[in-house]
Amino acid sequence: MNKVVEVKDLVKKYPGFQLGPIDLEIPEGSIVGLIGPNGAGKTTLIKSMLNLVHRDAGMVRIMGMDLSKNEREIKDIVGYVGEHQYFYEDKRVSWLGNFVSSFYSNWNNDLFRELLEKYQIDPKKRARELSKGMRVKLSFAIAISHNPKVMLLDEPTSGLDPIVRREILEEMRNIAGDEKRSVLISSHITDDIDRIADYVIYLLDGKVALYSEKDSLLAEWKRIHYVDGELPDSLQNSLFDKTETAFGNSGITSKYSELKALLDPLLQEGRVKVENLGLDDILICLVGKCKK
Ligand SMILES: Nc1ncnc2c1ncn2[C@@H]1O[C@H](COP(=O)(O)OP(=O)(O)OP(=O)(O)O)[C@@H](O)[C@H]1O
């Protein structure tokens, strides 16, 4: 599969914090969710991928172009929505659309107008008159209207109501659905990531702790509920975050496929139960908040 985005040995240092070295690739037509605790470096990573902050080392290639040499061309094909929206506050939405259109070679004004209507943004309103959610939606409309090949989204859905959030996520699915475009989206709303992502990156303390296909990740991480004495010791010992439950005991495995053959007969007899985990549960374990 082609790589739309390649990041190699990327390092960004701040006093008391270092992002990287980061290596990652985003395949064509995929949505990658970026998950991590506050301060893990998600914003720094996304900004470094667009030269919005200057990296100390490493390489970023987008659609085969090197960010050090082709920054302009790259910005033309990347749609970015950041945590904060900066507009000329006294200008009207229609003016802003017109203004930004001049920076992009593939600007689609019909699409921009369609999106404003869909997101119920009055083109006559001035930026300062828009609500927080409307500002995010306007940023999306702008990012999508220049037909980007890659979308880099930094916590884009946090201020949005559930209806618009769903719409925006759907839009991202459509963008990735044409197989040629890709999305990297950071969010603390792991439900959103769960809903749309094909891959998940866990970023902890500036490093990629885990990068996996989402479905296989969720297939491997399970909580096993068992009654004492029902599980072979070796299996019990391989579990972590052991907790007493109404069923008896429980513990987490991150390698369910390796235990499945042993567990299947017990499952059939109802002596063991298997519970699915969410992306949040996995994050909590990865940051070391699970019992060993
Ligand atoms: N301009 C800056 N100057 C100094 N330190 C910075 C700067 N920007 C970010 N940092 C530091 O870099 C680290 C990572 O911050 P970053 O905003 O990338 O994390 P994040 O994962 O996006 O966090 P959050 O989930 O809270 O938005 C933090 O320790 C932060 O204090």
Cα of 53 from ligand 1 centre, angstroms: 11
Q: Which atom of ligand 1 is nearest to the CA of 53?
A: 1
**Is the CB of 47 within 6 Å of ligand 1?**
no
Q: Which of 66-75, 82-91, 198-207 has the lowest mean pLDDT?
A: 82-91
Atom of ligand 1 nearest to the CA of 46: 18
pLDDT at 1 over 70: no
Side chain identity, residue 245: T
Query: How confident is the model at residue 235, as a pLDDT?
Result: 82
Per-residue pLDDT at 100 exceeds 70? yes
Closest ligand 1 atom, residue 186 Cα: 22
Which residue is it, tokens 């950041």? 82
pLDDT at 22: 97
- Identify the band that residue 292 occupies on the pLDDT scale cut at 50, 70 and 90: low
For 124, phi and psi rounded to 5 degrees?
A: -85, -10
Question: Which ligand 1 atom minimizes the distance to the CA of 17?
Answer: 29
Higher pLDDT, 288 or 100: 100
pLDDT value at residue 175: 81
Probe ligand 1: pick from 19, 43, 287, max atoms within 8 Å of CB? 43
Domain regions of the chain by residue span: 3-215, 222-276
Instruction: Give residue 174's pLDDT.
Output: 83
Q: Tens digit of pLDDT for each residue in 209-266?
A: 999 999 999 999 999 998 877 778 878 888 888 888 777 889 999 999 999 888 888 8
Query: For position 43, what pLDDT does the model report?
Result: 96
Is any ligand 1 atom within 6 A of the Cβ of residue 48?
no
Q: What is the full DSSP assignment across 153-197? A: EESTTTTS-HHHHHHHHHHHHHHHHTSS-EEEEE-S-HHHHHHH-
Beta strands in 15-138 (DSSP E): 17-27, 31-35, 57-62, 65-66, 78-81
- For residue 41 and ligand 1, the question of a CB distance below 6 A is answered with yes
Share of the chain above pLDDT 90, in %: 66
Q: Which of 97-111, 169-183, 184-198 has the lowest mean pLDDT?
A: 169-183
| Class for the domain spanning 3-215 | alpha beta
pLDDT of 180 higher than 80: no
- Is the shortest distance between the CB of 43 and ligand 1 below 6 Å? yes
pLDDT at 269: 86
Please give the model's pTM, rounded to 2 decimal places: 0.93
**Cα distance between residue 9 and residue 213, in whole Å:** 22
pLDDT bin (cut points 50, 70, 90) of residue 164 is: confident
193-197, 213-217, 269-273: range with lowest mean pLDDT: 269-273
What is the model's pLDDT at position 125?
Answer: 95
With a cut of 90, say whether residue 163 has pLDDT above it.
no
Buried b / exposed e over 140-172, threshold 16 CB at 10 Å, is bbbbbbbbbbbbbbbbbbebbeeebbebbbebb
Mean pLDDT of the region 136-142:
91
- Answer yes or no: is pLDDT of 121 > 90: yes
The residue nearest atom 13 of ligand 1, judged by CA position, is 39
